[in-house]
Amino acid sequence: MATKTISLTVNGQEHSCDVEPRLLLVHLLRDMLDLTGTHIGCDTSHCGACTVLLDDRSVKSCTLLAVQANGKSIKTIEAMAEGGQMHPLQECFKEHHGLQCGFCTPGMIMRAAELLERNPSPTEEDIRWGISGNLCRCTGYVNIVKAIQHAADKMQQQEAAA
């Protein structure tokens, strides 16, 4: 099948890739760029395990074609920690036991990252609705909600200190 050349920035690094027009963005990330932290949990865009940031908006990368990401910037879970320091969301997920099998976690964190970007002090209800496009089968969400609340506090404190 004919391929198309696309350029995109992934986790700050520029890539030029020859892709089939039908290639899903998630497969580009996982299979061509070896960024396997982004997972696939369904085939109908419901589980959110494949959530990444596309130009700072959380998107389900199984629902986008790689060619739709041409010229855009993508951030995945692999780039959330900086300089060996985990992101407050990552720290709080650990601190509050917001993960068990870990399979939904990267997507959940990327979704939460955008949520907190847009709403730095969400209520419990804001968080529950905010992550309602991401399924978790292990945790029952209580500790995920708690982790996101605490991450919000932590990020605000960090901002105030800066």
Partner 1 sequence: MAPRTSAKICGMGHSMKRKEDARFLQGKGNYVDDIKLPGMLFMDIVRSPFAYATIKSINTEAATAIPGVLAVITGETLAQYNLHWMPTLMSDTQMVLPTDTVMYQSQEVAAVIATDRYSAADGVEAVEVEYEPMQAMVTPFQSMEPGAPVLRTDKEGKTDNLAWHWEHGDREGTDQAFANADIVVREKMHIPRIHVASIETCGCVADFDPVQGQLTVYMTTQAPHAIRTVLALVAGHVGLSEERIRVVSPDIGGGFGGKVPVYPGYVCAIAASVVIGKPVKWIEDRSENLQADSFARDYHMDCELAASNEGKIQALRIKTVADYGYTDAAANPSKFPAGLFSICTGSYDMETAFTEMDAVYTNKPPGGVAYRCSFRVTEAVHAIERMVDVLAQQLGRDPAELRFQNFIQPDQFPYQSPMGWEYDSGNYGAALEKAMALVGYDELRKEQAEKRANGEFMGIGIASFTEIVGAGPSQTFDILGIKMFDSCELRIHPTGKAIARFGTKSQGQGHETTYAQIIAEELGIPALHIQVEEGDTDTAPYGLGTYASRSTPTAGAAAAKAARKVLDKARKIAAHLLEVSEEDLEWEPGVFTVKGAPDRSTTIQDIAFAAYTNHPQGMEAGLEAVHYYDPPNLTFPFGSYICVVDIDKGTGQIHIRRFVAVDDCGNIINPMIVQGQVHGGLTQGLAPAMYESLIYDEEGNILNGTFMDYLVPTAVETPHWETAHTITPSPHHPLGAKGVGESATVGAPPAIVNAVVDALSPLGITHMEIPITPPQVWEILNDHGVAE
| Residues making contact with partner 1 (CB under 8 A) | 20, 22-23, 27, 30-31, 34-44, 46-47, 49, 76-78, 80-81, 86, 90, 93-95, 97, 99-106, 109, 124, 127-129, 131-145
Which residue from 157, 85, 149 is spatially nearest to 121, judged by alpha carbons?
149
- Is 20 or 153 the residue whose CB approaches partner 1 more closely? 20
Helix (H, G, I), strand (E, B) or coil at 66: helix
Angle, helices 142-161 vs 105-118, to 10°: value is 50
- Is 89 or 162 the residue whose CB approaches partner 1 more closely? 89
Report in angstroms how near the CB of residue 136 gets to partner 1 at its nearest.
Answer: 7
Report in angstroms how near the CB of residue 15 gets to partner 1 at its nearest.
Answer: 17
Report in angstroms how near the CB of residue 104 gets to partner 1 at its nearest.
Answer: 5
Largest CA distance in the chain: 54
Report DSSP state, residue 19.
E
Report in angstroms how near the CB of residue 35 gets to partner 1 at its nearest.
Answer: 7
Task: Residue 103: count other Cβ atoms within 10 Å of its Cβ.
Answer: 18
